[in-house]
Amino acid sequence: MAKDFITRKENYSEWYNELVVRADLAENSSVRGCMVIKPYGYAIWEKMQHTLDAMFKATGHQNAYFPLFIPKSFFEKEAEHVEGFAKECAVVTHHRLAKSPNGKGLVPDPEARLEEELIVRPTSETIIWDTYRKWIKSYRDLPILCNQWANVVRWEMRTRMFLRTAEFLWQEGHTAHETSQEAEEESVKMMHVYADFAEKYMAVPVVRGVKTANERFAGAVNTYCIEAMMQDGKALQAGTSHFLGQNFAKAFDVKYLSRDNKLEYVWASSWGVSTRLMGALIMTHSDDNGLVLPPALAPLQVVLVPIFKTEEEKNMIDSLANQLQTELKNKGISVKYDDDTKQKPGWKFNEYEFKGVPVRLTLGARDLKEGKVEIFRRDTCEKELRGTEGLSEYIEQLLKDIQQNLFDKAVKLRAEKTRNVDTWEDFKVEIEKGGFLMCHWDGTTETELKIKEETKATIRCIPIDAPEEEGKCIYTGKPSKQRVIFARNY
Amino acid sequence: MAKDFITRKENYSEWYNELVVRADLAENSSVRGCMVIKPYGYAIWEKMQHTLDAMFKATGHQNAYFPLFIPKSFFEKEAEHVEGFAKECAVVTHHRLAKSPNGKGLVPDPEARLEEELIVRPTSETIIWDTYRKWIKSYRDLPILCNQWANVVRWEMRTRMFLRTAEFLWQEGHTAHETSQEAEEESVKMMHVYADFAEKYMAVPVVRGVKTANERFAGAVNTYCIEAMMQDGKALQAGTSHFLGQNFAKAFDVKYLSRDNKLEYVWASSWGVSTRLMGALIMTHSDDNGLVLPPALAPLQVVLVPIFKTEEEKNMIDSLANQLQTELKNKGISVKYDDDTKQKPGWKFNEYEFKGVPVRLTLGARDLKEGKVEIFRRDTCEKELRGTEGLSEYIEQLLKDIQQNLFDKAVKLRAEKTRNVDTWEDFKVEIEKGGFLMCHWDGTTETELKIKEETKATIRCIPIDAPEEEGKCIYTGKPSKQRVIFARNY
């Protein structure tokens, strides 16, 4: 384990906070609840963005950009939405600073008070549906399939880097459709896109499900979600996709002329993932030696570290390193040859290990004379000596193996920490151990809230692929037809 | 010219405003001064972003992300900066809305007033240098070469889409260096990167120059810039790169241990281009038939429109269209085969012409029976009939020709509208005709401001490659060693 670095067992929460800072991913800024995403962290986020963006475009979506500010009155138009989003938010009241009357510093200029306050967007349904009203006249204008990459602000009281920050980066898709079915299909489709991304690129297994009424997005008819499990057994909601019905169309009076020539309200979906995914990525794979990154999202996939004494040795190593770099780059693999002499090999080993570079090759003069190099894989921390023959092909396959191994490991852990619980007595004991408890529930918000109050466990989702099964609610004993996932969560 | 579309001659300013809306690039939103960037406009911006981002990375820069909000007190730390930026800005004073005491709607919760107001960033030097203080200890930590893609807000009184909006999208590079020379070299380098981008991709010729003291960025020692000329002869500042000296290091106390073991203030540069580039792109090339896009930035480069009566004809056209699409895509050219039967060919011609698609092929059954297709190039609006042999190679070359032709045309227009002016009498006449007036100037802000007051002309820049030439200031007759560019500007 890394020197001076706290272990997961000692304190999972502190381990995470320290890891984020020490791996150069992010740090807190001077602005309460806002973080600085450092270049290494941002490079991972960029890889996520590029992959997701391509997936959105492949499913027919286009990017656009809508204003940062939302007039206060817009929030008053959708009754549930205002409850959910217009509370803890950043309120812009003035458009100018002026010299303070006492001569010291600046104050908001009383002459420059806004007639109507502006809210820094916590999410953009309102401003976007205000815009869609102008775009939509007839069914010929539908569907509209827009996405935007943007920053949003929610004035969270307790913040944690990536997981919950006042400002965060995200994408939000907002679609408009002719029919209820089409809009709901879109939201289900995007849940699957998110799940595919999480599993194939992040190597994070997720449960696809639907939220209970109580956990639903404010203004949604149905909220689909993907739920991941962290190593400590806590759940993390990694993405949500909402079927909004006609709620926003009604609030913003967005109607279209239908195929049978009637004016109808438009149907909507919205869906988003955020820099929170970074938290999920970090917490799923990393270990007591630092960050572990799946190759598909690692900014640097392979690092080559030389060990040599003489110039002759260095030349020999250079020649292999150059060849390897060319071969790997041709395979689309990112590689760095770190022959900087300011740092010792040992320092470099620690550094790249801590930063989660999936594969490290040590090009040691001594080994090389025997035609061998040392290969270190970050996921298992195993080393092996190998001949240089076919090395780049071997590394290419190794990266795939690492990607798969990380996913398999996470699936295994999740399976170990997921179990059926059938009595309230068991529930209270089991919830303390963490993980997903698969339980029957009577379907009422009342019961859900009571369980939350007593145990801090929430219903993460009703899995979409759970089998029908007769049973009794663990809390009320009332009949139930399907198990749902209870867990404590981030 | 397009039906119902105003000409440049009639009213250049209205022509621009209407073009932006009718070509589906952007529209005004319900929030004063903020625009919605529509999918087609955003697709162009994305192409700009991707190209610039690759250029930044190729010159050693990394992306990061810094907070949207800046504490008010940060602006008070750099004396000139506060004058320039902390005036017309969006001020966040509260972090919660509450039900209005009169029961109607929402008001900023008096209980949730921020201790210190937050400013929505108009530019990020302050928050970034507050961060760099934590990153920089010794010369080993330098240089820092960061860029961020972000939204910024400046509360402009008169706004115009893309050219001047309250919120806009941009990138801002912020670099930290050991020496003055290195920092200034960086800012010069980035001016050249911007100029290369403008000329090679946007096909917009620019003058590389340095701003006068009066036009300098608030807090900079030197501001380098690229200045373009629009078709109406007005200047448009397309990008700026600032050598900031040690001003922000001093304001935020950022020191490093130098190679000779002394604590020194860090040297800085910052540089940015914004969605304003969209305005420059539109105004440089477009005509009375709508948008004209350089192929390098056109979201769609080639469109294929079929004309047919029978199914047999359609099959014949399909087969050529499919082949062409494959060939063009293999060459990295974006192409769309628009065989949608809901719209007539004539409607499609107008649509793609108005949206500036560089090349249109009409695949008419009649022509095709003679082995020919019609090729329309948007830059000159010329049509030609051509055999299908080697068509994709021809189109590939045509796109290059169009790119070059647009640049050449813009260079020619600029040359026509640029002239030396040597007397004040001439100046007052010539400035009314638009264009760049190359004049001697005595180097004082006083003279510059008087000229601006009398003629609304400003000094756009002191070109970096202008020859030394003895002369007399057009206004004061005092000696001068170089001509500068006077113009009215956007």
Interatomic CA distance for residues B440 and B438, integer angstroms: 7
Mutate to test the interface with B, among A25, A65, A343 (most CBs of B within 10 A): A65
**B91/A76 touch (CB, cutoff 8 Å), yes or no:** no
Query: Which residue of B71, B106, B155 is in closest CB contact with A95?
Result: B155
B92 chain-A contacts, CB cut-off 8 A: 90-93, 120
Interatomic CA distance for residues B266 and B99, integer angstroms: 49
Residue range A335-345: mean pLDDT, rounded: 95
The size of the A-B interface in CB pairs under 8 A is 184
Interatomic CA distance for residues B77 and B454, integer angstroms: 35
Q: Both tokens of residue B309? A: 């009566």
Nearest residue on chain B to A108, alpha-carbon basis: B91
Interatomic CA distance for residues B386 and A319, integer angstroms: 52
Write the CA distances from B441 to A154, B216, B414, integer angstroms.
52, 17, 21
pTM: 0.96
Looking at residue A1, its pLDDT comes to 53
B48 chain-A contacts, CB cut-off 8 A: none
Residue range A409-422: mean pLDDT, rounded: 98
CA distance B55 to chain A (A): 16
Residue range A304-308: mean pLDDT, rounded: 97
CA distance B207 to chain A (A): 31
Interatomic CA distance for residues B38 and A35, integer angstroms: 30
Looking at residue B156, its pLDDT comes to 87
Buried b vs exposed e over A400-439: b needs ≥16 C-beta within 10 Å? eebbebbbebbeebbeebbeebeebeebeebbeebbbbbb
SS3 label, residue B141:
helix
Interatomic CA distance for residues B74 and A6, integer angstroms: 35
Nearest residue on chain B to A76, alpha-carbon basis: B105
Give the CA-trace dihedral at A379, A385, A390, A394, to 10 degrees.
-10
Nearest residue on chain B to A112, alpha-carbon basis: B88
The helix, strand and coil proportions of chain B, stated in percent and rounded to the nearest 5, come to: 35, 30, 30
Residues 6+ apart with CB under 8 A from B373: B320, B361, B362, B363, B364, B367, B385, B386, B388, B391
**B39/A65 touch (CB, cutoff 8 Å), yes or no:** no
Backbone φ and ψ of B353, nearest 5°: -65, -45
Query: pLDDT band at residue A399, thresholds of 50, 70 and 90?
Result: very high
Helix orientation angle between A391-416 and A276-285, rounded to the nearest 10 degrees: 90
**A30/B71 touch (CB, cutoff 8 Å), yes or no:** yes
SS3 label, residue A188:
helix
**A155/B27 touch (CB, cutoff 8 Å), yes or no:** no
Looking at residue A373, its pLDDT comes to 97
CA distance B488 to chain A (A): 27
Write out chain B's pLDDT in tens, 490 residues.
566 889 999 999 999 999 999 999 999 999 999 999 999 999 999 999 999 999 999 999 999 999 999 999 998 887 777 777 768 999 999 999 998 888 888 999 999 999 999 999 999 999 999 999 999 999 999 999 999 999 999 998 899 999 999 999 999 999 999 999 999 999 999 999 999 999 999 999 999 999 999 999 989 999 999 999 999 999 999 999 999 999 999 999 999 999 999 999 999 999 999 999 999 999 999 999 999 999 999 999 999 999 999 999 999 999 999 999 999 999 999 999 999 998 999 999 999 999 999 999 999 999 999 999 999 999 999 999 999 999 999 999 999 999 999 999 999 999 999 999 999 999 999 999 999 999 999 999 999 999 999 999 999 999 999 889 999 999 999 999 999 999 999 9
Q: Which amino acid is at A300?
A: L
Interatomic CA distance for residues A407 and A120, integer angstroms: 37
A68 chain-B contacts, CB cut-off 8 A: 34, 120, 151, 153, 167
CA distance A407 to chain B (A): 28
The helix, strand and coil proportions of chain A, stated in percent and rounded to the nearest 5, come to: 35, 30, 30
For residue A101, pLDDT over 90 is answered with: no
SS3 label, residue B122:
coil
Interatomic CA distance for residues A184 and A223, integer angstroms: 10
SS3 label, residue B63:
strand
| DSSP secondary structure of A66-97 | --SEEEHHHHTSSHHHHHHHSSEEEEEEEEEE
Query: Which residue of A43, A65, A75 is in closest CB contact with B42?
Result: A65
The continuous run of DSSP H or E covering A410 comes out as helix A391-416
CA distance B7 to chain A (A): 25
Looking at residue B324, its pLDDT comes to 97
Looking at residue A356, its pLDDT comes to 98
Query: Which residue of A38, A63, A71 is in closest CB contact with B64?
Result: A38
Interatomic CA distance for residues A187 and A191, integer angstroms: 6
**B64/A39 touch (CB, cutoff 8 Å), yes or no:** yes
Give the CA-trace dihedral at A468, A472, A476, A480, to 10 degrees.
20
Looking at residue A81, its pLDDT comes to 75
**Which sign, positive or negative, has the C-alpha torsion A399, A402, A407, A410?**
negative
Nearest residue on chain A to B299, alpha-carbon basis: A62
Query: Which residue of A36, A118, A342 is in closest CB contact with B131?
Result: A36
| DSSP secondary structure of B326-388 | HHHHHTT--EEE---TTS-HHHHHHHHHHTT-SEEEEEEHHHHHTTEEEEEETTTTEEEEEES
CA distance B168 to chain A (A): 9
B86 chain-A contacts, CB cut-off 8 A: 97, 106
Give the CA-trace dihedral at B447, B451, B456, B458, to 10 degrees.
-50
For residue A79, pLDDT over 90 is answered with: no
Is B53 exposed, middle or buried, given 0-12, 13-18 or 19+ CB atoms closer than 10 A? Answer: middle
**A91/B108 touch (CB, cutoff 8 Å), yes or no:** yes
Interatomic CA distance for residues B371 and B155, integer angstroms: 59
Q: Are A333 and A300 in contact (CB under 8 A)?
A: no
Q: What ipTM describes this predicted complex? A: 0.96
**A34/B69 touch (CB, cutoff 8 Å), yes or no:** yes
**A73/B105 touch (CB, cutoff 8 Å), yes or no:** yes
**B120/A120 touch (CB, cutoff 8 Å), yes or no:** yes
SS3 label, residue A3:
coil
Query: Among residues of chain A, what percentage have pLDDT more than 70?
Result: 99
**B91/A87 touch (CB, cutoff 8 Å), yes or no:** no
Query: Which residue of A43, A68, A70 is in closest CB contact with B151?
Result: A68
Q: Are B279 and B259 in contact (CB under 8 A)?
A: no
Query: pLDDT band at residue A2, thresholds of 50, 70 and 90?
Result: low
Query: Which residue of A71, A94, A167 is in closest CB contact with B31?
Result: A71
Query: Which residue of B68, B69, B86 is in closest CB contact with A106?
Result: B86
**A106/B42 touch (CB, cutoff 8 Å), yes or no:** no
B73 chain-A contacts, CB cut-off 8 A: 105
Residues 6+ apart with CB under 8 A from B6: B14, B15, B18
Q: Are A192 and A160 in contact (CB under 8 A)?
A: no
**A76/B105 touch (CB, cutoff 8 Å), yes or no:** yes
